[in-house]
Amino acid sequence: MMLKSVSVETKSKAELEVMAEAGRFLAEVHAAMAKAVAPGVTTAELDAVAAREIKARKCKAAFPGYRGYPATLCVSVNEEVVHGIPSKAKVLAEGDIVGLDLGLVWKGFYADSAVTHPVGKVSAATAKLVETTRLSLQAGLAQARPGNRVGDIGAAVQAVAEGAGYSVVREFVGHGIGRALHEDPAIPNYGKPGTGLRLSAGMTLAIEPMVNLGTADVKVLADGWTAVTADGKYSAHFEHTVAVTEDGPRVLTAL
């Protein structure tokens, strides 16, 4: 029987340090964007902050032109799950949630991370969705250690999200990352413990749960990019780039 071949690039210690620099720059850009999130701000303005802050660090934005993507930032509001395109017409309002997904390149290496922010004051139910999604990512990251398997990551994410009564998106998954934005292996946000590819030191992964308040089903809008929940209920998204090391998970995109 033929198995689908998966080739995972492991990174040397020196390469990991470059990826850590890339990740720190990206975390700094996220901090700048977080300050800019407020009612009345357009998603195009957040894209401009991202572009300006990436340039200020002599890095390159990873997303423009990727499969024809037309902007620097993916910005997804409320029922938008991922890959929302920035727009001057999209104005944030109190009570919204906004997912900011951004990638950059530094010295030939990529970093990719996403955060969902509340806009002003949000309902308790919305805040809980966001916090649970953040915790599901933390649970997934904790599994990124040598000897574990890809299924351990997905199972940990899924347990947190579904344990709180939410659903996990299936159509979009995390990924290996390094000299390319998307490398093997795929990292689903669901799975069975003890199954899938075995992790080893030097692997670098982008883990990115998308968690929905209602149905897991999503559809892509006519712009060819924006994924929204099929039932119109809110969705949250968090992502970090993490290195699998002998000392355990090393999150590269945190400050």
Q: Which is nearer to ligand MF3, 122 or 212 (CB)?
A: 212
Q: How many residues bind ligand MF3 (CB under 6 A)?
A: 13
Among 45, 53, 101, 183, binds ligand MF3 (CB under 6 A): 101
| Cα–Cα distance for residue pair 231/217, rounded to 1 Å | 8
3-state SS, residue 254: coil
DSSP sequence for 23-80: HHHHHHHHHHHHHH--TT-BHHHHHHHHHHHHHHTT-EESSTTGGG--SSEEEEETTE
Q: Which stretch binds ligand MF3 (CB under 6 A): 3-11, 63-71, 130-138, 189-197?
A: 63-71
| Cα–Cα distance for residue pair 219/204, rounded to 1 Å | 29
Least gap, CB of 239 to ligand MF3 (angstroms): 6
Among 15, 96, 112, 183, binds ligand MF3 (CB under 6 A): 112
- Which amino acid, 141? L
Residue 44 as a binder of ligand MF3 (CB under 6 A): the answer is no
Q: Which is nearer to ligand MF3, 103 or 140 (CB)?
A: 103
Q: Could you tell me the CA-to-CA distances from 90 to 39, 41, 69, 75 in Å, in that order?
A: 11, 8, 18, 10
Among 47, 96, 112, 152, binds Co ion (CB under 5 A): 112
- The pattern of x and - marking residues 5 through 34 that bind ligand MF3 according to CB under 6 A reads ------------------------------
Q: For residue 98, report the phi and psi dihedrals to the nearest 5 degrees.
A: -130, 120
Which of 115, 110, 113, 101 shows the shortest CA–CA distance to 60?
Answer: 110
Residue 69 as a binder of ligand MF3 (CB under 6 A): the answer is yes
Task: Choose among Co ion, ligand MF3, none what residue 154 binds, the Cβ cut-off being 5 to 8 Å by kind.
Answer: none
Least gap, CB of 10 to Co ion (angstroms): 19
Residue 39 as a binder of ligand MF3 (CB under 6 A): the answer is no
The per-residue b/e assignment along 55-88, b for 16 or more CB within 10 angstroms, e otherwise, is: eebebebbbeeeeebebbbbbbbbbbbbbbbbbe
Q: Which is nearer to ligand MF3, 62 or 155 (CB)?
A: 62
Residue 67 as a binder of ligand MF3 (CB under 6 A): the answer is yes
- Provide, for the chain, the percentages of residues in helix, strand and coil under a 3-state DSSP scheme, each rounded to the nearest 5: 30, 30, 45
Binding site for Co ion (CB under 5 A): 112, 206, 208
Binding site for ligand MF3 (CB under 6 A): 63, 66-67, 69, 74, 83, 101, 103, 112, 114, 175, 208, 239
